[in-house]
Amino acid sequence: MALWKPDPSFYPSPRMAMEAPPERLGYVATLNSRLQDRPDSISVVDLDPQSPSYSRIIHTLDMPYVGDELHHFGWNACSSALCPYAPHPHLERRYLVVPGLRSSRIYIIDTKPDPRQPNISKIIEAPEVFARSGYSRLHTVHCGPEAIYLSALGSGSDGEGPGGILMLDHFNFNVLGPWEIDRGAQKLSYDFWWHLAQDTMITSEWGRPSQFENGLVLDDLLASKYGHSLHFWDLRRRRNMQTIDLGEEYQLVFELRPAHEPNKSYGFAGVVLNLKDLSSSIWVWHQDGEKWAVTKVLDIPAQPAAAEDLPAPLQAFKAVPPFVTDIDLSLDDRFLYVSCWGTGELHQYDVTDPFHPKLTGKVNVGGIVARQGHPKSGGPLQGGPQMVEISRDGRRIYFTNSLYSRVDDQFYPPDMAGWMVKAVADPAGGLRLDPDFYVDFGLSLPHQVRLEGGDSSTDTFCYAS
């Protein structure tokens, strides 16, 4: 199980990780909720342009149960294994830790014998997760230096209790228990990540399971009952040190992307909706003396639209919101990619100065109104850029179009096809679609993408470049 030399996909610093070889395979969480009695799956996509099966699904690993709602997932180990205070450099980046957001089950998927045909090596059932941690509705997975961390959106017998973080053992994947000792004002949960060098964890807020499992509750949304705060935790003492309320008009605080360079202490958070004008926004957290502070650095406005072009929940507003539901930061901390799921745009911002993002590139695919097609799609596309993943060298950007089963159905037609596309980034700024890369998922819905060897939202680095 352990190696003699460190796993070659572990890098001490983000700058070194950018020199990693290009990924050849992508693993994609694939939702099959619209297909009768078909379990969700992990799709293996060929990303090697030299390969005859480039841009095709070369293997589908079905889960043994129906209805997991695969969503986010992550690697068992990554560059954080080199961190000096708890080094485990001879772990392997080998297993995908794949939770079911609806089922609360955790699949441990082995990519080792054949990375092109992974297999399930262990299943941790929901009752075990619940018995050992009290949590359910598992979401984000991050590989820490001394354990695997997962976020959960619910707790308690009905799942409506506070969400939080639980830990898995690095070696045998046993559930170690809940992570936090003092959650302070935190109740809602969603994404999390950290500044390891600052001993700080940051968590964001979506809502309680009953607020999303049957789709977004629009009355709750208009009444500001979804999450609108960021929480800053002492990673070492497991305490919530600070809660910052962005304002109740800001609803759904989603993805968190800290700067990768360990001696930078700022990061980006995406907020899906401003109730006042349906805009989305990007916020930067940063240090202000001993405390953390949050500053809004970007508003992305809604676009006017005719009521008859809009789905029922939006008709009264006569506008299509951008719905920024994922953001991702390149390993050099230079470019922030922003998915506008509603308008069908992927934006590239130069965030060299994090407080003044500059739009440097944009591609259009899908969109509630635009329905922009892809050169290979042969017609208009539904859905929009959603989960986005950046290759370690920052050159290739992959994204998929599904947000969450029931939310897809609220804003896009029930026959929306699933797709995955790729954009190519100019190192100096600029973005264009790869006309040869288009993966048609049919009625299956692709969500998060993980790249072979690591990507820009997996690894944490402990050594400054």
Partner 1 sequence: MPLESLGPWLAMIGFGAYHGFNPAMGWLFALSLGLQQKSSRAIWSALVPIAAGHAASVGIVAGLVYAGAHLVPLRPLRIGTACLLLAFGVYKLLNYYRHPRWVGMKVSLGDLFGWSFLMATAHGAGLMVAPALVGVTHGHGSHGMHLTPGPSLLFAVSLHTLVMLVVMGLIAWIVYRKFSLAVLRNHWINFDLIWAVALLVVGGVALIIAI
- Identify the CA nearest to 216 among candidates 68, 73, 325, 140: 325
Angle made by CA atoms 148, 152, 158, in degrees to the nearest 5: 140
Binding string, 158-197, against partner 1, x = CB under 8 A?
-------------x------------------------xx
Closest CB 265 distance from partner 1, rounded Å: 11
Residues 387-416 that bind partner 1 (CB under 8 A): none
- Distance CA(368)–CA(159), nearest Å, equals 32
State which residue, 85 or 214, has the beta carbon closest to partner 1. Answer: 85
Q: In what order do the strands lie in the sheet with 135-143?
A: 135-143, 148-155, 164-168, 175-178
Stretch that binds partner 1, among 82-90, 92-100, 323-331, 420-428 (CB under 8 A): 82-90
User: Out of 56, 236, 318, 356, which residue is the one contacting partner 1 (CB under 8 A)?
Assistant: 236
User: Out of 44, 91, 403, 445, which residue is the one contacting partner 1 (CB under 8 A)?
Assistant: 91
- Distance CA(41)–CA(60), nearest Å, equals 6
User: Out of 147, 293, 369, 407, which residue is the one contacting partner 1 (CB under 8 A)?
Assistant: 147
Instruction: Note whether 77 binds partner 1 by CB under 8 A.
Output: no
Instruction: Note whether 132 binds partner 1 by CB under 8 A.
Output: no
Contact of 377 with 440, CB cutoff 8 Å = yes
Judging by beta carbons within 10 Å of its beta carbon (0-12, 13-18, 19+), is residue 237 exposed, middle or buried?
Answer: exposed
Residues 194-223 that bind partner 1 (CB under 8 A): 196-199
Instruction: Note whether 419 binds partner 1 by CB under 8 A.
Output: no
Instruction: Note whether 90 binds partner 1 by CB under 8 A.
Output: yes
Using alpha carbons, list the distances in angstroms from residue 381 to 14, 29, 313, 407, 418: 35, 20, 20, 17, 9
Contact of 165 with 193, CB cutoff 8 Å = no
Closest CB 4 distance from partner 1, rounded Å: 5
State which residue, 179 or 438, has the beta carbon closest to partner 1. Answer: 179
- Distance CA(294)–CA(341), nearest Å, equals 24
Instruction: Note whether 86 binds partner 1 by CB under 8 A.
Output: yes
The size of the interface with partner 1 (CB under 8 A), counted in residues, is: 37
Instruction: Note whether 462 binds partner 1 by CB under 8 A.
Output: yes
- Distance CA(151)–CA(206), nearest Å, equals 12
Instruction: Note whether 74 binds partner 1 by CB under 8 A.
Output: no
State which residue, 11 or 411, has the beta carbon closest to partner 1. Answer: 11
Residues 260-319 that bind partner 1 (CB under 8 A): 262-263
User: Out of 37, 50, 84, 353, which residue is the one contacting partner 1 (CB under 8 A)?
Assistant: 84
Instruction: Note whether 89 binds partner 1 by CB under 8 A.
Output: yes
Beta bridge partner(s), residue 336 = 329, 349
Stretch that binds partner 1, among 28-36, 143-151, 270-278, 353-361 (CB under 8 A): 143-151
Instruction: Note whether 349 binds partner 1 by CB under 8 A.
Output: no
Closest CB 323 distance from partner 1, rounded Å: 36
User: Out of 99, 118, 134, 145, which residue is the one contacting partner 1 (CB under 8 A)?
Assistant: 145
Return residues touching partner 1 (CB under 8 A).
1-6, 8, 10-13, 16, 82-91, 145-147, 171, 196-199, 235-236, 262-263, 462-464
